[in-house]
Amino acid sequence: MSLISPACRDALQHWLEGLVALSGRSTNTQAAYRSDVNDFLSFMTLHHSERQGLAALARITVSDMRAWMADQRGSGVGARSLARKLSAVKSFYRWLAEREGFEPTAVLSTRAPKFTKKLPRPVDEDAARALIETVELQSTNDWVSARDVAVVTLLYGCGLRISEALSLTGADAPLPKSLRIVGKGNKERIVPVLPAAQAALDRYLVLCPHPLDKTKPLFRGVRGGALNPRAIQAAMAKARQQLGLPATATPHALRHSFATHLLSAGGDLRAIQELLGHASLSTTQTYTAVDTARLMEVYDRTHPKA
C-alpha cells in the first residue's frame, strides 16, 4: 500500500504538471522532484504513524522538518543532495499553500544545510584542442569519426550542452553564422557558430551515409537513428585516457572550457551568460572563481619564493 494518501498523490501530480507547463522542466528534473517530494511525504506518514492528507500537511511543524532533515542526514544523504530535496519540498509547499490556503512558514523557513559549491572543471585550451583531435581517432569508420568531431567542436566552439547539440535537425544544416538554441526551461538563445564548427559539420555531412532529412536528427547513430549521447561520452573517455587527462574531461567540460576561455580572453560576463543560456548571472559568475583559481595556480608555480 502506498504511504501517500490519494489526495497528496493527486496534488503532487498536479504540481508537477504545472511545473512542466509553466517552466518547461525536463523529464529528468520532473522525475527528481517527484522522488524528492514523494520521499518527504512518505517520511511524514511514518513519522506521524498515519497517512498525511492535505489538512495534515498544513499542520507540519518546525519540529517535523527538523526530524526529516535529521533522518536524511542519518541515512547518508549529503548536504548538497539534502539542499536539493529541501528546495523541491519548498517549491511544492508554496504551490500547495496557495492552492489550499494555509500558512507554509514552518516548511519555507527551514534552512538548507551549508555546502561548498563545486567549481566547474574545464580543460585548458591545448587540452581542448587535443581532445578534439584525439576523438577523431576513436573510430575506424571515417564518417563516425567526422560525426564525433563535429559534435565536440560544437560543444567547445559554441558552448552547447550535449543535449542541445544532439537536438539539432537536418533543417539546421549547413550551419549558419548563428544558431537559435532552445535550452533548459525552453529558454531560447542565439549563439555564433565558428568557421571551425561549420567546417567540421560539412565534413560529417559529406561522409555520412544516411540521407539528410530536415525533420530528423542531424547527428545519426550507426544504424541511422538519433545519436545516443553515450557514444560521444565513450569517445571522449577513450580520448582523455590516451591523453592522460582526468575523468572530469567530459563532453560537458568542453562547455565549461568555452566559458572559461572566453572569460580569460576578456569576455563580458553578461554576454557569456547569454551565450550559455544561464537564467541567473550568479551561475555564470562561478567561472570567475575558476579563472581566479587557475591564476593563483600559475602564480604559485611561477612566482619567485622569498
Q: Which member of 25, 85, 255, 256 is catalytic?
A: 255
- For 68-94, the three-class secondary structure string (H helix, E strand, C coil) is HHHHHHHCCCCHHHHHHHHHHHHHHHH
User: Cβ(281)–Cβ(190) under 8 Å?
Assistant: no
In the numeric block, which cell numbers belong to residue 5? 494518501
Q: How far is CA 178 from CA 59, 89, 194, 197, in A?
A: 53, 39, 9, 11
Is position 278 annotated as part of the catalytic site? yes
Report the amino acid identity of residue 14. Answer: H
**Alpha-carbon torsion (24, 188, 279, 100), positive or negative:** negative
Coil, helix or strand at residue 227:
coil
Q: Which residues contact 146 (CB under 8 A, 6 or more apart)?
A: 136, 200, 203, 204, 206, 207, 208
Rounded CA gap, 104 and 268, in Å? 40
Q: Which member of 184, 189, 216, 294 is catalytic?
A: 184
Is position 184 annotated as part of the catalytic site? yes
For residue 276, count CB atoms less than 10 angstroms from its CB and return exposed for 0-12, middle for 13-18, buried for 19 or more: buried
Q: Which member of 80, 210, 252, 294 is catalytic?
A: 252
**Strands, E assignment, the chain:** 178-182, 188-192
Is position 255 annotated as part of the catalytic site? yes
Rounded CA gap, 138 and 233, in Å? 12
Bond prior to 174 in cis (omega within 30° of 0): yes
125-135 and 251-264 are packed helices; what angle lies between their axes, rounded to 10 degrees? 150
Q: Which member of 51, 85, 147, 161 is catalytic?
A: 161
What residues act catalytically? 161, 184, 252, 255, 278, 287
